[in-house]
Chain A
Amino acid sequence: MADNNAYAIEMLNITKRFPGIIANDNVTIQLKKGEIHALLGENGAGKSTLMSVLFGLYQAEEGVIKKDGKEVKINNPNDANDLGIGMVHQHFKLVQCFSVLDNIILGVETTKNGFLQKDVARKKILELSDRYGLKVDPDAKIEDITVGMQQRTEILKMLYRDNEILIFDEPTAVLTPAEIDELMQIMKNLAKEGKSILFISHKLAEIMSVADRCSVLRRGKYIGTVNISETNQEELSRMMIGRDVQLVATKEDKEPGDVILKVENMTVPSKLHHNNAVKKVSFDVRAGEIVCIAGIDGNGQTELVYGLSGLENISNGKITLSGKDITKASIRERSTSGMSHIPEDRHKHGLVMDYSLAYNLVLQRYFEPEFSSKAGFLKKSAINSYAEKLIEQYDVRSGQGAQTITRSMSGGNQQKAIIAREIDKNPDLLIAVQPTRGLDVGAIEYIHKQLIAQRDAGHAVLLVSLELEEVMSISDRILVMYEGEIVGEFDPKNVTPQELGLYMAGAKRKEAAL
C-alpha cells in the first residue's frame, strides 16, 4: 500500500439535493492511490447518490471532484470511464446469453476490417485473470456460471478497460461465505498492484478485514474518516448509527404458552417443477416463542410461507390457527383471524409501491369500519391520522410524511412501514420472512427488538431466515428445512452453527420431535 499522500480521486465538499431531502451534505472522500477505502453508511445515508455524482449520473450543486490533484468535470458515465473509474454494481450488468469474453469486450471490441479480434482479447483477459487471481472460463455463458464468477467477470471488465479506480457497490450481498473470502483476497491483490479501491458496504466485519481506511456517512452528512488499524467495529457502528448498537440481540428466558399455529402434514406443490416444494411438513408454534425456520435458500421455505399465508393452495395437510381450521380459508380470512405476514419480497408483495405511505399502512385494514364507511367510501382523515400515528410510533422516515409515495422511500424505511402495519394489527401469529435482508445494522437491531417484543407480549412468531447468526441469536427453537422437509429441531442453546450447517446442507437429518 502506498503510504504517501497522493490521492487518486478526491470528492471535496460535495452537496447534492433532491426535493425534500439533502442526499449529500458537504461530503468529502479522498481515495489514496493503492488503498482500499471503505464507504460505510446505513441504507439511505447517501452512498449511492455520492457514487452517482462520481459517475456523472447526477451533478452536484456544490463541491469539486479532483483526479490526481487536478479538478475534473464529470458530466456523464463516459467521462468517468475516460478518467479510469470503473464500478461493479450490486446488480450485475451482464448480457446473460453472451460468453464471459463477449461481456468483457462489449463496447471496447478490438476489430480488424470490421471483424472481431477475439484472440487478442482472450490473451489480454487470460493475462489479467492470471495476474490478479481472477478465475474465469472465458467461453462459459453468463447464465451458466455462478454469481461469484459473474462478479469476477465484472471485475475483469474494469481491468480490461485499464481502470485505475475500482468501485465495489455492496459486492458481498450476493456471495456465499467462501466466495466472500475469495473476493477479499482479490481486492487485496488489486490494491497491491496499485489499483485504488472504493468499497461500499454496511457490513462491519468485512470492512475491518479488508479496508485500509473507512469514511462514514450518516443521513447524508459526512461523519469522518478513520484508519481501520486504529478502530473497531463498535466505533464504526457508532459513527454509522450515531449511537451505541447492540450487535447481538438479548432476550429473557420465557416459557411458551398455548399452541397458536399447528401445521400437520402440509404439502405445497412447486411452481417450478413437478415435485412438491414442501413435503408433509408438521410443526407448531406456541404463544410467546420465536420459532425459526433455518435453511439454505430454495429449500421450500418460500413455499411453506405461501402455504401458511394462503398465497398458494396446499395440496395436502391441515393448518390450525388459534384452534380454528384455516386450511381452506382465504388470505383475507387468515389475516383477520390473527395472522400477520412480513413477506419475503417487500416490493412485490409487501407494498403497493406507487401508493402513498398512508395507503400502504392500511393495506391490511382499509376495509375495517375504522377506515371505510358502510357505503364503501374511504375515511381519508382516519387513514391519515392512523398513518401519522404509526409513522411516529415506529419511526418510519420519509420525505413528505404520510403522503410520500412509497417507491421513493429507502429500503429500510419501506420495511419499517411493513413491520409497523403488520405488528399494529396485534396478531396472534407473526410470520416474518427474511425481515432483515438487505438492511443495515441499525434497522436490523430495530427489527430484532420488535420481533422479541412480540414474543414477550405473548404472541407466536415464525421467523424464516437464511442468516445463521440471526437464527442463533433470536430464536427459541430452530427447525432446519432441507429439500422441502424439516430435517431437525434444535434448541439454539444446545447447538453450534457448524452442527446446524450440516443439517442445512443435507449431510445429517433427524425426525422432528413432534
Chain B
Amino acid sequence: MADIKNTKTEKASFFSKPAVQSITASVLCIVIGLFLGYIALLLINPAGATEAIITIIKNFFTYPSKPAALKYFGNTLVKVAPLLMCALSIQFCYQAGLFNIGAAGQYVAGAGASLFCALKLGLPWYVCLLAALIAGGVFGTCVGLLKAFLNVNEVISGIMLNWIGLYIVNMLLSGVKEASSPNTLTLASTNPSAIMPSMGLEKFFSNNKYVTIAIPLAILVAILIKVVLSMTVFGYEIKATGIAKDAAKYSGMKEKRNIVLTLFIGGALAGVGAAFLFLSGYEQWSVAQASVPGMGFNGIAAAFLGGLDPIGTIFASYFIQHITSGGSYIDMNVYPSQISDLIFAIIIYLCGFVLFFKHFMNSRIRAKKNNAEGGNK
C-alpha cells in the first residue's frame, strides 16, 4: 500500500534480523542442552558432576601443556571435516526440499570407495578422493532418480540404501583387512601416497600427523555451497524447486533434473566427507560393524543446529564434535562416555525448537514495537 508503507521508517531492530535470530536460537539450544546434560550427570553421581561437565566443555583444554592441547585440538578438527561435509550434504538437499537421510549411506559408500582404491588398488589420494565423490554421488543419484521419476520418498529409499551400502562396503573391504582384527589395513603401512597432504598444517598442531588439507577444504566447500545457493542461477532453481515444485515446472525449470542433480551433489559431499576422514589415516574401517556409522546422522543435527546455513553449519559441526571429543575425557569409572552423546541428543531434540524460538522472538519484538508506538501516540 504505497501511501501507508512509509509511515513508519523504523529500522529493523537487531534481534529481528534472521541471522541474529538463528544464532540466538542455536546458542539457546546449546545452553539448555548442556544444562540438561548437567542434570543427567547430577542424577548419576552428584559429586563429580560439575567437574565432568566442565571436562566435556573444555575438551582438549584439559591438557595443561599448550602443545598437547593443540595436538588434541587437531584431532577434534580431523573429525569436524567429515561431519561438516555430511551436514552440508543434508543442508544442501534441504534447500531443494529433500531430506537426505541417506547421507549416512553415501558417507559409507565414500568410505568404501576411497579405502578400496587406496588399499586394494594402491592409488594416490586424489584418485581415492574422486572415487569417494563418485561413489557417494551414485548413491545419491539412485535416491534422486527414484524420487524424480517414481516419486519414491527420499527418506525411505535413503534409509534402505544406507544398509545396502554398509554391507557392500563390509564385503568389499574384507579383502584388505588386518589378519588379526576386523579393521582395514592402515594407510601408512600399505599405501602412504593415499594419505592426504598436510601442506605444513600439522606444524600448527604440534605435528599432529592427522591434520591434513581436508580441514580447510571442508570449510572452503561450505563457503562454496553458500555462494552457489545465494548467488547463482543454479541456487535460484534449486530453492525454487524446493519451495514450489509446481511453480518451478511452470517456469520451465527441469525440476526432475534438478532433484537428481541435487541428490548427486548431496551424495558427493557426504562421500567426500568420508574420504576426508579415512584418507587422513586417523581411523580404520571395521568390516565387522553392524550398524551404519553415525556421522551422516550427526550431520542432520549439525545442519539444523547451524540454522540450515552453510556458514552456521561450520560452527555447529565444530561444536558437536567438540563436546563429543570432550566426552571421552570424563571419568569412565563414574560416568558412561555416552554422556556427550546424550547432551547432543538433547541439543538435536531442541533444534526442533529453533523455529519455535524464532517465532517466539518475533512475536516478542512485534509486541514491543506495538507498545512503543502506542506510547508515542
Residues of A in contact with B (beta carbons under 8 Å apart): 17, 19-22, 25, 44, 61-62, 219-220, 309, 311, 330-335, 341, 343, 345, 348-355, 359, 363-364, 366-367, 372, 376-378, 380, 397-401
Contact = CB atoms under 8 A, between A and B. Distances in A.
B249 interface: yes
Contacts of A397: 1-2
Contact of B244 (A19, A44, A335, A353): A353
Interface in B350-370: 366, 369-370
A61 B373 contact: yes
A352 B4 contact: no
A411 B366 CA distance: 24
Interface stretch (B79-87, B139-147, B226-234): B226-234
A366 B233 contact: yes
Interface residues of B, number: 31
Nearest to A336: B252
A352 B247 contact: yes
B171 interface: no
Contacts of B370: 17, 61
A353 B233 contact: no
Contacts of A341: 250
B240 interface: yes
Interface string B73-100: 0000000000000000000000000000
7 contacts: A17-B373, A61-B370, A355-B243, A376-B232, A377-B233, A378-B231, A401-B5
A377 B8 contact: no
Contact of B4 (A22, A62, A332, A333): A22
B250 A220 contact: no
Does more than half of chain B's interface fall in helix, strand or loop, or is it mixed? helix
A20 B250 contact: no
Given A17-B370, A21-B1, A353-B243, A311 B232 contact: no
Contacts of A401: 5
B251 interface: yes
Contact of A331 (B233, B236, B240, B250): B250
Contacts of A352: 240, 243-244, 247-248
Lowest 9 CB-CB distances: which A-B pairs, in order?
A332-B252, A331-B252, A349-B250, A352-B244, A363-B251, A372-B233, A348-B246, A354-B243, A352-B240
Contacts of B291: none
Contact of B234 (A21, A354, A376): A376
Which of B4, B243, B366 has most A Cβ within 10 Å? B4
Interface of B: 1-5, 7-8, 231-234, 236, 239-240, 243-244, 246-254, 366, 369-370, 373-374, 377
A343 B250 contact: yes
A170 B2 CA distance: 26
A219 to B, nearest CB: 5
B257 to A, nearest CB: 11
Contacts of B251: 331-332, 335, 363-364
A399 B5 contact: yes
Nearest to A22: B4
A44 B1 contact: yes
Contacts of B243: 352-355
Contact of A364 (B234, B252, B373): B252
